[in-house]
């Protein structure tokens, strides 16, 4: 890689400025003069608008898909949906012309639960967005080992570095999440906010970011910390930070995708009900290594050693 001189660091600033123009230039009204804002504030505003849009798009589309389009596949059919709940769901998605039937009402989150999750998430969102903003600031100032172009290291090293990055993030997220449970004050004052959603009828894609802001930042912080240790492609790093938001929606939909070794919603639903298993991030490997893996097969009653 080139030395971390002014011209090299300018590549990072140019890249973040480009992202700012794409998001702010297209999503803010023309009357809003965002160009006059300081660069870090532009970056935070872009992260906030982009993160909020991503949260709602992923949440609404995924809820519509699993509770409407594929309800007969993804939701148990042991009970019939009451007319009042059918009306509530229709009103929630503002959709006409569809009828929902033969769905177990006990398995579908209520509108009230989802709206509460949205409210908690939106209160935390400004704080969540401070983490990628601070990360970009540190990268732009050359404090990390990030590089702006894959060509700076070549594809073989890029793939190697990214693999190491993901493994370290997986390890750090596992232990951060586990300690948020094991250290009682951390659980009581931070993580318990997220664990009020502990049943299938309270878990939804909107619950993924419904946490105490500091809790969410702590669990995402490994993505930033690892950039001080491992050479990391800047755009890949930022994409993975925002992928966390998409992943959070996915693992709270209660659907067991059964894709080994992915730590999908089947595993994470068990985490929300037992509180002692499946702390992992993207994969089950860390839980397997440290003896906390619990398999969704058999309602999660079987602990994998």
pLDDT of residue 201: 74
The proportion of the chain whose per-residue pLDDT surpasses 70, expressed as a percent, equals 83
Q: How far apart are CA 221 and CA 231, in angstroms?
A: 17
The arithmetic mean of pLDDT across residues 165-174, rounded, is: 98
Residue whose tokens read 């967005």: 129
Report CA torsion sign: 80, 85, 90, 92: negative
Q: Read off the pLDDT band of 250 (50, 70, 90).
A: confident
**pLDDT digit string (tens) for 38-48?**
999 999 999 99
The arithmetic mean of pLDDT across residues 41-56, rounded, is: 96
298 phi-psi bin (left φ>0, alpha ψ -120 to 50, beta other): left
pLDDT of residue 119: 96
- Token duo for residue 163: 């693999």
Of 105, 91, 119, nearest to 193 by C-alpha is: 119
pTM: 0.84
pLDDT of residue 241: 94
Instruction: Compute the residue count for the chain.
Output: 305
Which three-class secondary structure string do you get for the chain? CCCCCHHHHHHHHHHHHHHHHHHHHHHCCCCCCHHHCCHHHHHHHHHHHHHHHHHHHHHHHHHHHHHHHCHHHHCCCCCCCCHHHHHHHHHHHCCCCCCCCCCCHHHCCCHHHHHHHHHHHHHHHHHHCHHHHHHHHHHHCCCCCEECCHHHCCHHHHHHHHHHHHHHHHHHHHHHHHHHHHCHHHHHHCHHHHHHCCCCCCCCHHHHHCCCHHHHHHHHHHHHHHHHCCCEEHHHHHHHHHHHHHHHHHCCCCCCCCCCCECCHHHHHHHHHHCCCCCCCCECHHHHHCCCCEECCCCCCEECC
pLDDT of residue 54: 94
**pLDDT digit string (tens) for 89-131?**
545 544 434 444 434 445 677 888 889 999 999 999 999 999 9
The arithmetic mean of pLDDT across residues 2-8, rounded, is: 72
Can the peptide bond before residue 99 be classed as cis, meaning omega within 30 degrees of 0? no
Name the more confident of 224 and 89.
224
């Amino acid at each position: 890689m080139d030395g971390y001189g002014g011209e090299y660091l300018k590549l990072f600033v140019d890249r973040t400025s480009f992202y700012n123009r794409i998001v702010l230039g297209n999503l803010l009204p023309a009357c809003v003069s965002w160009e006059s804002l300081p660069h870090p504030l532009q970056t935070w505003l872009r992260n906030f608008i982009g993160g909020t849009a991503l949260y709602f798009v992923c949440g609404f589309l995924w809820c519509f898909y699993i509770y409407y389009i594929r309800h007969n596949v993804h939701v148990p059919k042991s009970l019939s949906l009451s007319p009042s709940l059918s009306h509530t769901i229709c009103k929630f998605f503002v959709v006409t012309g569809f009828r929902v039937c033969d769905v177990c009402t006990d398995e579908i989150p209520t509108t009230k639960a989802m709206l509460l999750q949205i409210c908690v998430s939106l209160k935390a969102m400004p704080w969540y967005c401070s983490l990628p903003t601070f990360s970009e600031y540190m990268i732009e100032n050359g404090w990390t080992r990030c590089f702006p172009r894959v060509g700076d290291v070549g594809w073989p090293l890029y793939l190697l570095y990214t693999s190491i990055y993901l493994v370290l993030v997986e390890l750090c997220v596992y232990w951060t999440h586990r300690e948020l449970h094991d250290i009682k004050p951390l659980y009581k004052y931070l993580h318990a906010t997220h664990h009020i959603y502990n049943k299938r009828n309270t878990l939804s894609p909107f619950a993924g970011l419904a946490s105490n802001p500091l809790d969410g930042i702590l669990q995402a912080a490994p993505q930033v910390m690892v950039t001080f240790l491992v050479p990391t492609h800047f755009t890949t790093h930022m994409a993975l930070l925002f992928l966390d938001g998409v992943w959070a929606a996915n693992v709270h939909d209660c659907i067991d995708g059964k894709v080994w070794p992915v730590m999908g919603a089947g595993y994470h639903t068990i985490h929300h009900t037992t509180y002692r298993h499946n702390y992992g991030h993207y994969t089950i490997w860390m839980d397997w290594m440290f003896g906390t893996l619990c398999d969704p097969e058999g309602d999660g009653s079987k602990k994998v050693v």
